[in-house]
Amino acid sequence: MKRLVVVALVASAAVAATAAPAGAGAECRSLPVCIPVAGPWVLTGAHEVEFQLACPRKFVIGGLDADISERGISVDFRGSLGAPVNPGITTSTSAVFLGRLVKAGRRTPSFRPRIGCIPGGAGQRVPTSLHAGPPGTRRVTQLTVLPGIQRYALRCPAKEQLAGATHAIAFYLPAPPSAQLAGSVGVAQSIRGGRVYVTVRGAPELHDIHAIVQVDLVCG
């Protein structure tokens, strides 16, 4: 497997390149002071999957990159409107990556988001999506997948209303997950009465593997 194309600080950065090994990315390229942060391998498919990755406190995102498990995977990110296009304006302390399989291949499709974090303010603006979507603030919850069945009920904070919800399955591994491992996690999501109900199923072999389900609530 080879390195992939860089996802740079631009309004649209589609990735459809060659697959990548577990090496350093280009998220800190040309940044004199930068902390690289690599996320987990996020399962994707024909439907767009969202995954949020955050910097440490008092850092903002100065660069982005992504690894892909195979050709035919498109990776983009949500940015905020403003001028100039810059860290702290276009990006904040976290970034939402958007992954989608545009051409099927032989491997299980997944991508690993990467961000380069530089010193900056601790504040965070509510992002304006570069893609059509419901307005609101993202509330992110990460659930650790365990063998067996776990059930969760999530809701927005008081005085906020639920506008939508998504989830993503991801694995903290040095290499993309196999088809067998990807099938070891199942998620069912439903929305009722302003709450998001999530049921997570983990196979027995997950006892020594760090797998997560990230649930994103859009709260207005």
Q: What is the mean pLDDT of each run of 10 residues along the chain (220 residues)?
A: 34 34 75 95 94 94 94 90 83 94 87 95 44 66 96 94 95 95 96 96 92 95
141 and 127 in a common domain: no
What is the domain extent for residue 198?
A: 137-219
At which of 131, 152, 182 does a domain end? 131
pLDDT for position 24: 64
pLDDT for position 196: 97
At which of 108, 131, 154 does a domain end? 131
16 and 95 in a common domain: yes
Looking at the DSSP bridge assignments, the partners of residue 61 are 117
172 and 191 in a common domain: yes
At which of 81, 102, 131 does a domain end? 131
151 and 123 in a common domain: no
Q: Is the pTM of this model over 0.85?
A: no
What's the number of domains the chain is made of?
A: 2
pLDDT for position 25: 83
pLDDT for position 145: 97
pLDDT for position 121: 59
